[in-house]
Amino acid sequence: MTGTAAGTDVTVTLRLPPSAAHVRTARLIAAAMARRSGVGEEILDEVRLAVGEACARAVRMQERQGMAAPVTVEFAETGRFRVSVVDGAKTGSGDELTAMANGAGAPAPWADPSGDALGLALLGAVVQDLVVDQEADGGTRVTMSWPLI
Amino acid sequence: MDLTLNSHDQAGHTVLAVSGEVDVYTAPALRDRIADLLDSGQHRLVIDLGGVEFLDSTGLGVLVAGLNRAREVGGSLSLVCPQERVLKLFRITGLDEVFTVYSTVDEALAGSSAG
């Protein structure tokens, strides 16, 4: 296996057409991968929700900008079960998105008509270890991880 | 599509039973059904989420939009949610303060009439 820039071993990479119909596919695969990697049963709901939110966000951003390139989902297990969702859409900085996920500046995430704030609020709440980075091409990499039993 | 919507009239309300997965793909169908009910004059809605297996932020957003639309026409929209795993989503987004959430349809019908 080859290491990525983040220094983790990617075991499975999924390339999804940026379509809402495929977000469910990503959720199902994420839950299956998490179970196989040894994530506790009680955490699987969180994995499903978080990966779904990250993929829904990626698909929505790309659809808005008319980008047909696939959204990439990487699964790795190096001590923890790690999932990265990478899109190519141009957005705000990773710091801004991380702050939104942590609830800063958004007293009522549901009041945002785009739905972005609500999705990030859910992500931030169910993932303790959430990192949002900006890719060199302007896209976003959302990385989250969960402990193994 | 893994979402089922069934509505019936009961005690002066329209109960919309939602089951399956409400996500970024299926939520538009729920949004359309709520809009159709409100447009056809059924303004007192009880949305029963008892059969929901998965709900994401898009689904939550559709419910918020439905509540706002119901209020605009002088109606109401309350929720029935017996499942802790779904209730948790309302709590962590602060939406439990926005919606009136009941654990059974009967309670929703009684509570909504009293209000």
Query: What confidence score (pLDDT) does residue A107 get?
Result: 54
Hunting for tokens 């303004």 — which residue is that? Answer: B43
DSSP B80-115: E---HHHHHHHHHTTGGGTS-EESSHHHHHHHHHH-
Residues B37-69 pLDDT 10s:
999 999 999 999 999 999 999 999 999 999 999
- Neighbouring CB atoms inside 10 A of B55's CB total 25
Which of B2, B25, B93 faces A118 most closely, judged by CB atoms? B93
Helices (runs of H) and strands (runs of E) counted in chain B:
4, 5
Continuous segment of H or E residues that includes residue B13: strand B13-22
Put simply, whether B56 touches A (Cβ < 8 Å) is: yes
Query: What confidence score (pLDDT) does residue A3 get?
Result: 43
Cα(A54)–Cα(A58) distance, integer angstroms: 6
Residues A84-119 pLDDT 10s:
999 998 876 566 666 666 655 455 666 666 667 888
Which residue from B minimizes the CA distance to A43? B85
Chain A residues closer than 8 Å to B21 by CB: 24
Which residue from B minimizes the CA distance to A48? B54
Decide if A118 and B61 are in contact by the 8 Å CB cutoff. yes
Decide if B24 and A23 are in contact by the 8 Å CB cutoff. yes
Query: What confidence score (pLDDT) does residue A1 get?
Result: 43
Take residue A61 and report the two structure tokens written for it.
Answer: 């951003």
Residues B88-107 pLDDT 10s:
999 988 999 999 999 999 99
* Nearest by Cα to B69 from B25, B39, B110, B107: B39
Read off the pLDDT of each residue in A118-139 and give the average, rounded to a whole number.
87
